[in-house]
Structures are given as structure tokens and as C-alpha cells.
């Protein structure tokens, strides 16, 4: 399973890369706005730092503007994946961009029907938003199960990118279902490392050895 970081924060990306756990990045307009930096240069900076796919989203809703912005985003670096909203104009652009060799990530997916359309259009990734589905008393993970099943039924190439992840259980459930990718806020990536028994166990190992008064190199 691939882990992407869902962030436009350069420090978070740098740390995630150091930890060796980051296979790619997803951004969106809200995340880039939070950094207070210009749009395209931020996507470019991230794409230059990260060896894997970096999703940069169009800021347009009509087909001609989506195409124009998508080409500019894709021109920033070879690893840019263009994020396109799930709409008739968006999916028409997904099909056209595929013909041009530009990979897309279809965003704001909230139903299996929408995921099916995105795969038929030729998206490289579909992003179902599990946290936002949970927020309205739906089952985000139920949606992932449906999408993984229906893609498997027809051998679609589109990868299921679990988005709007809010906590480690989302990540584990997504992996159990067999989703290809989860995009995590940095705080969720950090939480995946922690277990209280690991902390207690490590303290005990080190304090037991310290009681001997011996060092690591003693003979």
C-alpha cells in the first residue's frame, strides 16, 4: 500500500521523506491557501522535492479552463498528477487529458457511482473522501469497499486513493480492504508509529540495562 501525505507544508513533506514513508503527495486549494504562498510555484516546489506522484488541483470548473490549467500544472514537472473535480466537465477533461498522456486524480468522490464514472473516463486515481462521508453519518469505509470491489470486477487500472483520512483506523481499514493508496495528514502518519506498550517496553529494556552499570562497548 502506498502512503501519500495530504499537505502543502514543506517541513512536513521533508520530515515524511526522511522517515522513508512517503510515496507521493496530494494537495488541494485549501491546503495551499493555508501556507500563504502562490499556487503554481508551491506545486512545483513540492514536485521537485518528491520522487513520487504529486497531485495539484485545477482551480476551474469549465472544460476549456480545466484543460488549460491541467496542461500548465502537468508542465511543472513529470511527476505532477492533475486533480480534477468530479463533474461532467471534469470527467470529460480526464478523458481528453489521458489522450494527451496527462495523468489525473479525480477528487471529491462521495459515491461508488461517481467512482465508476471516473474509472470509465480513464482517471489514474480516484479519491473517495472517507472522513467527510463519516461526517454526515455515512460509512466512508463502506464506500471504499464498494469502489475496490467494483474496480476489481472490471479490472479498471484506476487506483483507489483513500482521501480525507482522519485517524490511523482509517488507514488500517483501507489496507485491509486492499485500497492502493491512502493520503494522510502528517499528524495521522505520526500516530501510526505510536503504541503505549512500545514506549513502556523500551523504557524497561533501557533501565534494566542501565542498572548493570555497564556500557554498550564493555567487554
The residues that touch ligand E4P, with contacts defined as CB under 6 A, are 6, 26, 28, 107, 127, 129, 131-132, 163-164, 183
Q: Which helix (H) or strand (E) holds 160?
A: strand 159-162
Least Å distance, CB 183 to ligand E4P, is: 5
Q: Which is nearer to ligand E4P, 26 or 158 (CB)?
A: 26
Q: Which is nearer to ligand E4P, 102 or 163 (CB)?
A: 163
Strand-pairing partners, residue 6, are 26
| 164/184 Cα distance (integer angstroms) | 8
Least Å distance, CB 195 to ligand E4P, is: 24
In the block, residue with C-alpha cell 488541483: 57
The beta strands (E) that lie in 41-129 are given as 54-57, 80-85, 104-109, 125-128
| 160/106 Cα distance (integer angstroms) | 10
Least Å distance, CB 131 to ligand E4P, is: 5
Q: Which is nearer to ligand E4P, 116 or 184 (CB)?
A: 184
| 70/201 Cα distance (integer angstroms) | 50
- CA 191: distance to chain centroid? 16
Least Å distance, CB 97 to ligand E4P, is: 18
Q: Which is nearer to ligand E4P, 107 or 158 (CB)?
A: 107
| 4/113 Cα distance (integer angstroms) | 24
Which one from 37, 44, 83, 191 is the annotated catalytic residue? 83
83 as an active site residue: the answer is yes
| 52/166 Cα distance (integer angstroms) | 22
What positions carry a catalytic annotation? 83
Amino acid at each position: 500500500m502506498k502512503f501519500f501525505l495530504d499537505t502543502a507544508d514543506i517541513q512536513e513533506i521533508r520530515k515524511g521523506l526522511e522517515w522513508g514513508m512517503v510515496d507521493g503527495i496530494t494537495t488541494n486549494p485549501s491546503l495551499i491557501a493555508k501556507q500563504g504562498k502562490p499556487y503554481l510555484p508551491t506545486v512545483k516546489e513540492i514536485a521537485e522535492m518528491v520522487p513520487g506522484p504529486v497531485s495539484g488541483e485545477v482551480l476551474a470548473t469549465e472544460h476549456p479552463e480545466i484543460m488549460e490549467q491541467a496542461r500548465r500544472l502537468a508542465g511543472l514537472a513529470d511527476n505532477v498528477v492533475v486533480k480534477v473535480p468530479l463533474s461532467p466537465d471534469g470527467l470529460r477533461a480526464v478523458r481528453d487529458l489521458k489522450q494527451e498522456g496527462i495523468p489525473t486524480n479525480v477528487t471529491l468522490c462521495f459515491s461508488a457511482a461517481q467512482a465508476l464514472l471516473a474509472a470509465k473516463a480513464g482517471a489514474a486515481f480516484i479519491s473517495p473522501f472517507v472522513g467527510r462521508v463519516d461526517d454526515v453519518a455515512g460509512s466512508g469505509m463502506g464506500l471504499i469497499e464498494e469502489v475496490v470491489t467494483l474496480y476489481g470486477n472490471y479490472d479498471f487500472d484506476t487506483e483507489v486513493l483513500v482521501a480525507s483520512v482522519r485517524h490511523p483506523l482509517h488507514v488500517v481499514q483501507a489496507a485491509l480492504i486492499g485500497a492502493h493508496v491512502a493520503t494522510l495528514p502528517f499528524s495521522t502518519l505520526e500516530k501510526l508509529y505510536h503504541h503505549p506498550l512500545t514506549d513502556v517496553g523500551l523504557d524497561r529494556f533501557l533501565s534494566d540495562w542501565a542498572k548493570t552499570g555497564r556500557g554498550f562497548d564493555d567487554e
